[in-house]
Amino acid sequence: MVSSGPEAETGHPSPEKGAPPDGSATAVVTRPVRHSPEFDALFDRAFPAVVGLVRRALDRHRAAASSSDPVVEEIAIETLAKAKVHRFADTDRAAERIVGWAAELSLDRMIGHPGRVALPSGARAEDLLPQDLLDEGVGAEWDHHGLGLWELQEALAGARRVDRRVGVVCLACGMPPSQTAILVGADPVAVEASLRRIGTRLADRRRVSAEVESPLDARLGDQG
């Protein structure tokens, strides 16, 4: 059931939208006020997608749900509230812009993030890194442990907007380049070019960090 008030709407997911079949309690979702039927349609389409995207970016394996869920909700609400301010209607272009905003907000939450993620097909270490770093074992590190979210965030800091969005959706969320292109509304060729630039930034960051520390030793700690 969804209740409405002057400030916000809250509710629990209905069974057909993913609520536990046993009727157990689910997290309350606070939603921005909705008025326009066009925005209502966009909200119903985009809100679950944003929640899923941000959750994959920040806590793909649900390892820290109690701390990540409030962040996921906050980003989703902020993104949809921004869409409402811009008076977005239910269009594919609006959904793409919303995904882009959510990706950038997620990137801000990756500062110092301890998590590591497996890379998708088409954007693995051998697709991103130059041969010298592969020879040094960085590719094997990513294959075995995953790419550090903190490392991705540092590499994307100051990057082009499209690169930040592609980096989050493709690398942090684990979406193949073809699906990333659809989600962010970019040409597949542009996504491939973006991934090459991201690979260069990751390589540059790794070379610089190698001069002062071992990222694997410094960040993995007791995880091994």
Please state the pTM of the whole predicted model.
0.76
Q: Which tens digit of pLDDT belongs to each residue from 157-190?
A: 999 999 999 999 999 999 999 999 999 999 999 9
Q: Would you say residue 18 has pLDDT above 60?
A: no
Q: Give the DSSP H or E segment for 108.
A: helix 92-108
And the tokens for 166?
Answer: 């592609």
Answer with the residue of higher pLDDT: 1 or 203: 203
- Average pLDDT in the chain: 84
- Tell me which residue of 208, 109, 2, 175 sits closest to 13, measured CA to CA: 2
Q: Which tens digit of pLDDT belongs to each residue from 133-147?
A: 999 999 999 999 999
Highest mean pLDDT among 34-43, 55-64, 181-190, 209-218 belongs to 181-190
Q: How confident is the model at residue 210 (pLDDT cuts 50, 70, 90)?
A: confident
- Give the burial string for 3-38 (b: 16+ CB within 10 Å, else e): eeeeeeeeebeeeeeeeeeeeeeeeebebbebeeee
Q: How confident is the model at residue 213 (pLDDT cuts 50, 70, 90)?
A: low
CA distance 10 to 188: 38
Q: Which tens digit of pLDDT belongs to each residue from 47-86?
A: 999 999 999 999 998 888 999 999 999 999 999 999 999 9
pLDDT at 112: 86
Burial zone of 201 (CB within 10 Å; 0-12 exposed, 13-18 middle, 19+ buried):
buried
- Tell me which residue of 203, 184, 169 sits closest to 56, measured CA to CA: 169
CA distance 202 to 196: 10
